[in-house]
Amino acid sequence: MLNSAVEIEQTVTFNIDSHLKKRFPDLKVLTFQIDGVKVEKRDVELENFKEELTKQVRKQYDLESLRNLSTFRAYRDFFWKVGIDPTKSRPAAEALIRRILQGKTIPNINTLVDAYNLASIKTEIALAAFDANKLKDNLLMRFATEGEEFMGIGMEKPMRLEGREIVVSDGEKLIAVYPHRDADNTKITNKTVDVVMLVCGVPSIREETLQNAAQVATEYITKFCGGKRIARNKTFHALASS
């Protein structure tokens, strides 16, 4: 049985499986879509903004106290429960902030990915983005099936899932291991025009925090890539249908 669906303005519909809700009743996911973006390899203004944010991070955080922040603790606790070792694969925002504190630069992927990575750093919340025109059907969040294969961005070969992981599929293929890694076949490229965003909540993170992350991500993406958000933020609590 699936949960009630909420449409994203005639694009895709996002559903959360009721079995997942039973296991994680406090799990929240927020979605929105931005259409008409222009993705470039690099932008001077964006690079300057990266430098400003890097300075802010070094003033605000230090490596010793980072692991005790409530947001990152919530992600790490969730990672353990779904079969991801957070000491090997850290939550996205924490990994980016750690990188800065270690004196490294923020990776340059393309302007859209870079923009939402900065929003993730700013808000401490994991974000995911998918090329809307590469999605085949409505999106479903569910537990993985044991032995199911997932080809993530940057992987040389697919990984076999154990069945504890949470995945997002589009009816044809897996597009993410939640909230850990996005798939290669729906990633954002310089040809992307429309993008579906997920604001990845975990238990103990408030909805208001997710809403703020969506606002910051929208601001950064539209500032550096243009486009227009065509749907309001939708928060999914996975309330089971009858």
What residues have CB less than 8 Å from 214, skipping those under 6 apart? 30, 32, 197, 199, 233
The residue with greater pLDDT, 171 or 182, is 182
pLDDT at 2: 37
Residue 160, Cα to own-chain centre: how many angstroms? Answer: 21
Task: Decide if 153 is inside a domain.
Answer: no
DSSP code, position 104: P
77-87: burial string, b at 16+ Cβ within 10 Å, e else: ebbeebebebe
Q: What percent of the chain has pLDDT over 90?
A: 80
Q: What percent of the chain has pLDDT over 70?
A: 90
Task: Decide if 232 is inside a domain.
Answer: yes
Question: In total, how many domains does the chain have?
Answer: 1
User: What dihedral angle (degrees, nearest 10) is formed by the CA atoms of 211, 200, 188, 107?
Assistant: 100
CATH number (domain holding residue 53): 3.50.40.10
Task: Decide if 30 is inside a domain.
Answer: yes
Q: What pLDDT band is residue 11 in, cutting at 50, 70 and 90?
A: low
* Total count of residues recorded for the chain: 242
Question: CA-to-CA distance for 175 and 183, rounded, in angstroms?
Answer: 5
Residue 197 bridge partners (DSSP): 32, 129
Task: Decide if 152 is inside a domain.
Answer: no
Task: Decide if 79 is inside a domain.
Answer: yes
First to last CA, the chain: 9
Look up residue 119 and give its two tokens: 């929003």
**Which amino acid is located at 198 in the chain?**
L
pLDDT at 233: 57
Helix (H, G, I), strand (E, B) or coil at 224: helix
Q: What is the pLDDT of residues 97-151, one digit of tens each?
A: 999 999 999 999 999 999 999 999 999 999 999 999 999 888 999 999 999 999 9
Task: Decide if 154 is inside a domain.
Answer: no
pLDDT at 57: 97
Helices 207-225 and 111-123 pack at an angle, to 10 degrees, of 150
What residues have CB less than 8 Å from 159, skipping those under 6 apart? 149, 150, 151, 152
Task: Decide if 174 is inside a domain.
Answer: yes
pLDDT at 237: 57
Question: Does residue 229 have a pLDDT over 70?
Answer: yes
Q: What is the pLDDT of residues 43-66, one digit of tens each?
A: 999 999 999 999 999 999 999 889
Question: Does residue 230 have a pLDDT over 90?
Answer: no
Task: Decide if 15 is inside a domain.
Answer: yes
- Phi first, then psi, for residue 226 (nearest 5°) are 70, -155
Candidates 124, 126, 125; CA nearest to 60 is: 124
Residue 71, Cα to own-chain centre: how many angstroms? Answer: 15
What mean pLDDT value characterizes the chain? 90
Q: What is the CA radius of gyration of the chain?
A: 17
Question: Does residue 171 have a pLDDT over 90?
Answer: no
The domain of 209 spans 6-145+159-236
Widest distance between CA atoms in the chain: 52
pLDDT at 75: 96
Q: What pLDDT band is residue 14 in, cutting at 50, 70 and 90?
A: confident
